[in-house]
Each structure stands twice: as structure tokens, then as C-alpha cells.
Amino acid sequence: MNKRVVITGGAGFIGSHLCEYFLEKSYDVFCVDNLITGSLDNISHLFGIKEFVFMNHDITNYIHVRGKIDYVLHFASPASPVDYLEHPIQTLKVGALGTHKSIGFAKDKGARYFLASTSEVYGDPLVNPQPETYWGNVNPVGPRSVYDEAKRFAEAMTMGYHRFHKVDVRIVRIFNTYGPRMRLNDGRVVPNFVMQAIHNEPLTVYGDGTQTRSFCYVSDLVEGIYRLLMSDSTGPVNLGNPDEWKIIDFANLILRLAASKSGIVYKSLPQDDPKMRRPDITLARKLLNWEPRVKIDEGLTKTLDYFMKKK
């Protein structure tokens, strides 16, 4: 009998890549999504596969799936700053109530639970790169707190269930990830810059563009997630690409790769926008023998191809 995995947020950007990955490894996949920010376009090519089941369900409500379940992966959440500012209450609820419901479900099934956490738990970090031992610098009442604090609560909930109920858990802290199936208008820097470059519109750099991010291609991330799921380590473990870019340099890179005639226009920096972000992946290297393989030019070229077809 195949192993059976439930993936919340399975119609989202990372979730849909996970669905594919597990199907390729001969799992039965139950994809749970309420389609607030996820999309059926991301999974419609899987509908003919009998090992794939889509459940249009909001994971903040009780979930029932018949039969044994081996793994529960909780990936449901708005994940771009624009999305979680547009859906602040749903973001808080899916991080809090959604974690509660999904981990309670894992406990009932005796399944291993995997929480998708985030580099946002480090807030606007005062150390760079960020190791897992850093406790972070989060503004609890700022606009980003609906996401940051929900994910911090989700980590606490996961560890609470692990310590009190002995649920077998894994926590990953995901850094900026990019690739095909990001929503064209999700407001994050990669879709924005790529769409602007393709349409020969100026790239909107927020602030002076000296803030940094480090970008990991989605296939590298998915491989790391699988390795962490199969490992003996509870985590949290950072997964991301340590290749750190100033946003202004990143804008110029995209202009070059897209052979675009666009210029650059400066816009105001959103409140509490982290000034620097780069994962310390020492732990992932050691525990999972994992590191990213896809170089930025290659990953962005694939992403450009995807957006060209979608535009």
C-alpha cells in the first residue's frame, strides 16, 4: 500500500510542487486548499491521477480523511506581504487555528507532522546570516506581525504537541523561494520584477534597494523539505539559498536576463521591511546533506519562461 500524505496549501506555489514530488515518489496525495491564494491552475494537470485527491477545505476547520495517513504537511498560508496584508485575519487564523487543526489531525492518525515556518520568524534581523539559534527581532504590532507572529505561534504549537502529546514533528524555516507557479500578481519581488521586465515597464525598487534577500529555486527547496521530513531531526532547520542580493542588483540581474528595456523607479519602503536576510544553512548541510544546486541565472530563466507563457 502506498504511503499517504496530506498537504495543506497544496494548490499554492510550494504546495503544488510538493504534490507533484510526492506523486512521483508513489505516494497517495491529499491536497487541501481553500483557494484564497492557491489556484486550481497549479494542480489541474494532476486531476486525472487516481492517487491524487483535491479537497476544497479551509484547514482552520476540522478535517477528516478516512484511513491511515503517514505524513501531514502544513503549508497553507498567504505568504507574500501583499497577500497577508490583504488577508490579515485569515493569515492569523491559518497559522494558529490551521496549525491546531492539522496537528490535531496528525496526532489522531499517528502521522508525522511537518510545519512550514519561515525566515519571517527572525523579523528584521540584527544578525546576518540568520542561524536557527537566533530568536529574532519581530515587531509584534506591525503590519507584518499577522504572518510573523502566526508562524511563531505555529512553531510553539508544534513544539507543544511534540512535548506534551509526543507527536513526531519537523519544522522548516523557509527563506525566499521563487520559480514557476508564483502568482503573477502576488506582489513579491520576483513576480513583480519579472512581469515588469517582460512588459517593458519600470521595475519598482522599494526604498533605496540596498536591503538584501537570498533566493532559492523551488526544486531545491522541495528536495530539502523531503530530506528533512525523512530525517531524525525535529528542527527547526533553515532551508534557503545563501546567495545574497541587494534588491537593486537583483533588479538589474532580471533586466539583463530578460533582455528588457525597462528602467528602474524607486518607491517607498514598506514598514518593517527587513534590511537583510540570508540563511545560515550549516545545519541543513550537516543533518540533511543538502544545499541548493540551481544557480540564480538558471532558476530565473526558467521562471521567466513560465511568466512569459502566463502573461
Distance of CA 277 to the CA centre of its chain: 15
The cell for 144 is 507584518
Contact call for residues 132 and 282 (beta carbons, < 8 A): no
Cell numbers 511568466: residue: 307
If one asks whether residue 213 binds ligand UDP (CB under 6 A), the answer comes out as: yes
Q: Which of 6, 222, 228, 247 binds ligand UDP (CB under 6 A)?
A: 247
d(CA 4, CA 194): 36
- Residues touching ligand UDP: how many (CB under 6 A)? 15
44 or 185: CB nearest ligand UDP? 185
If one asks whether residue 176 binds ligand UDP (CB under 6 A), the answer comes out as: yes
Q: Which of 18, 59, 189, 198 binds ligand UDP (CB under 6 A)?
A: 189
d(CA 151, CA 146): 9
223 or 272: CB nearest ligand UDP? 272
- Which residue among 71, 113, 147, 161 is the active-site one? 147
Q: Which of 34, 102, 192, 238 binds ligand UDP (CB under 6 A)?
A: 192
If one asks whether residue 270 binds ligand UDP (CB under 6 A), the answer comes out as: yes
Q: Which of 39, 128, 139, 204 binds ligand UDP (CB under 6 A)?
A: 204
If one asks whether residue 205 binds ligand UDP (CB under 6 A), the answer comes out as: yes
DSSP assignment letter at 126 = S
DSSP assignment letter at 303 = H
- The stretch among 68-76, 105-113, 205-213, 254-262 that binds ligand UDP (CB under 6 A) is 205-213
Cell numbers 540533511: residue: 288
Q: Which of 70, 223, 243, 273 binds ligand UDP (CB under 6 A)?
A: 273
82 or 97: CB nearest ligand UDP? 82
102 or 214: CB nearest ligand UDP? 214
C-beta neighbour count of 11 within 10 angstroms = 28
Q: Which of 161, 188, 238, 260 binds ligand UDP (CB under 6 A)?
A: 188
If one asks whether residue 206 binds ligand UDP (CB under 6 A), the answer comes out as: yes
Contact call for residues 199 and 254 (beta carbons, < 8 A): no
d(CA 238, CA 248): 25
Half-sphere exposure of 299 (CA within 13 A, CB side): 22
If one asks whether residue 202 binds ligand UDP (CB under 6 A), the answer comes out as: no
Write phi, then psi, for 220 (nearest 5 degrees). Answer: -65, -45
d(CA 92, CA 84): 9
Interface positions, 62-121, toward ligand UDP (CB under 6 A): 80-81
Name the helix (H) or strand (E) containing 153.
helix 145-165
C-beta neighbour count of 252 within 10 angstroms = 17
CB of 33 to ligand UDP, least distance (A): 21
CB of 81 to ligand UDP, least distance (A): 5
d(CA 21, CA 33): 17
Instruction: Tell me if residue 147 is catalytic.
Output: yes
Q: Which of 77, 117, 211, 260 binds ligand UDP (CB under 6 A)?
A: 211
d(CA 211, CA 202): 19
- The stretch among 123-131, 184-192, 218-226, 299-307 that binds ligand UDP (CB under 6 A) is 184-192
Residues designated as active site: 147
Interface contacts to ligand UDP, rule CB under 6 A: 80-81, 176, 188-189, 192, 204-206, 211, 213, 247, 269-270, 273
